[in-house]
Amino acid sequence: MKQLKLTGFVIFFFFLTESLTLPTKPQDVDDVSITQKFIEDNIGYITIIAFAQYIQEASFEEVEMLVKAMTEYRDKCLADMTLPECSKLANDVLLENICAMEGLPQKHNFSHCCHKADFERKHCFLHNKKADVGFLPPLPTLDPEEKCQTYKNNRESFLNNYIYEVSRRNPFVFVPTLLTAAARFEEMTKICCEEQEKANCFRTKAETFIQYLKALSSYQKNVCGALMKFGPQILKSINIAVLSQKFPKIEFKELISLLEDVSSKYDGCCEGDVVQCIHGRSKVMSHICSKQDSISSKIKECCEKKIPERGECIIYSNKDDRPNNLPLREAKFTESENVCEERDADQENFMAEFLYQYSRRHPELSTPELLRIAGVYEDLLRECCNTKNPPDCYRHAENKFNETTEKSLKIVQRECEHFQILGKDDLKYHYLINLTKLAPQLSTEELTFLGKEMVTALTTCCTLSEEFACVDNLVDLVLGELCGINENRSINPAVDHCCKTNFAFRRSCFEGLEADKTYVPPSTSQDLFIFHADLCQAHNEELQRKKDRFLVNLVKLKPELTGVELQSLLADFTNVVKKCCQAQGPEACFREEGPKLSAKSQVA
């Protein structure tokens, strides 16, 4: 893992002789040497990530068998690149090797994918991935001293196991992100194992590390979900908005050229194609750095970094300053007499340019809001261009844009007011109840995760000066988690409608939803009110998780109860735990109090 310093966005795309242009610039020649060294050192990590994401149920021993097979394949091809099998694409070779592992396809129920070929096989494996990882055992945790000793004794096995466990629990996270996570994990381990207070060091540093992984995971799943459900056009719109805000001085023609590389990157990353994903990432960063004078003044230092480090540097660089000569409005889209003619000449390009011009002028708006405004403008032109006097109709477009933003702003303000009034814990219970009533078909693990993420969004953003964009962006990511990445995911008719009808306006769609009327609760309490003394051993964080799960399962059992009634029962549960854990015989106390709480829920 020596090459994975912090960023780890390594150039793995020459592996297995992918069809790429030969290097012509010094920087490209340097790419080859870095890549060659990376291939020699890190093929195992890449294979572990890909296999663990495709076949999440596979054991670590099975993953190690595939690593051995892929390493042998690599060594054979490095020795003689003219062998026929060395001309295959990397992802195809990986899937062939997975399918060739004796008994594995039948054991883990993916033999139907192995009977397909090429594109169909790849998509079958993609749809085999499960976002809800509740079927996996809890992530293994080691005592800090034991963790440090294990790392010291066998660094490679320790890191392999870590990458395996994280990858199978994050099946849609892009490979470069997981490589970065692995590098950060090793760096954290090295630092903390030198400290006296190892546990405190791991706890403190892990929080930042976990947030990093969660944030990128949510964004990547959201963008890939948009691509899978709505197609490449919505992905293009998202990228126009994001890049135009980040690089407001970029020319439109240059942006369109850059978008071709960006779209190619997401095609590979969203499909789980390891090589195409990292190749695409490198191509985007090379494009940006080769044109930095016309793209951004904030990335010079990033582009001077070595290739494995420059990607993350560019992503986390500040937004560039808005050009001084940029007027507040682009008259071409609201004041020209020929708007309809220009739109009709090339509608896709015209709308792309509108989104570019509006985004670069409004760094204070969220990506979803920019997409909403583009949608409002498109609808307005559809209406205006069919009137006798189109300019009179679309001249007031700015008013429509402002109205749209005001509606979105009011939603954010209302949510932040909830946060101020309720506080963190009660706000979480509010969202756990509401989300479970909206989508009771989701697993308890998914619902508790979504509730916590909503609270994180508000606690992170509601005190910031850029409150609106921050809340709107983060809540949209939570909705992306709810809707899921696969286009065939179905929850219930109302939620499915919001997830699949309009990407930009799904936030307002969810605002109007009520409890799912198609849901039929379980006929029995399914041991919900059977408690045991292990509750007394649970630490604060674990006890809080059990309370959250109890509340979600209570809503699933009694969806007709009001929020007040449900929170009252949650308070009763908390009191029962406190009472029984202080009793001489906790188990006997729980046996007595559980049925009482069950009876109370019947009459609530």
**Residue ranges for the binding site?**
273
Which uninterrupted H or E stretch holds 53? helix 26-54
- Bin 396: left if φ > 0, else alpha if -120 < ψ < 50, else beta: alpha
Q: Are 254 and 295 in contact (CB under 8 A)?
A: yes
538: its two tokens: 């649970």
Chain centroid to Cα 92, Å, comes to 25
119: its two tokens: 């594109």
Rounded to whole angstroms, the Cα distance separating 160 from 165 reads 9
Q: Which has the closest alpha carbon to 275: 531, 575, 19?
A: 19
Tally DSSP H helices, then E strands, for the chain: 29, 0
With 0-12 / 13-18 / 19 or more C-beta atoms within 10 angstroms meaning exposed / middle / buried, residue 383 is: exposed
For 297-335, give the DSSP string.
SS-HHHHTS-HHHHHHHHHTSPPPPPPTT--SS-GGGTT
Longest distance between any two alpha carbons in the chain, whole Å: 85
Q: Are 371 and 255 in contact (CB under 8 A)?
A: no
- Show binding-site residues for Zn(2+): 273
DSSP 8-state secondary structure symbol assigned to residue 21:
P
Kindly give, in sequence order, each residue whose CB lies less than 8 Å from that of residue 399, ignoring residues fewer than 6 positions away.
none
Rounded to whole angstroms, the Cα distance separating 474 from 571 reads 30
Rounded to whole angstroms, the Cα distance separating 531 from 240 reads 53
Rounded to whole angstroms, the Cα distance separating 137 from 128 reads 19
Q: Are 166 and 178 in contact (CB under 8 A)?
A: yes
Q: Which has the closest alpha carbon to 276: 92, 431, 110, 133?
A: 92
Kindly give, in sequence order, each residue whose CB lies less than 8 Å from that of residue 46, ignoring residues fewer than 6 positions away.
12, 15, 175, 179, 274
Structure-token match 């963008």, residue found: 223
| Percent helix, strand and coil across the chain, each to the nearest 5 | 70, 0, 30
Rounded to whole angstroms, the Cα distance separating 373 from 103 reads 53
Handedness of CA 589, 592, 594, 600 (dihedral sign): negative
Q: How many beta carbons lie within 10 A of that of residue 143, not counting itself?
A: 10
Rounded to whole angstroms, the Cα distance separating 579 from 576 reads 5
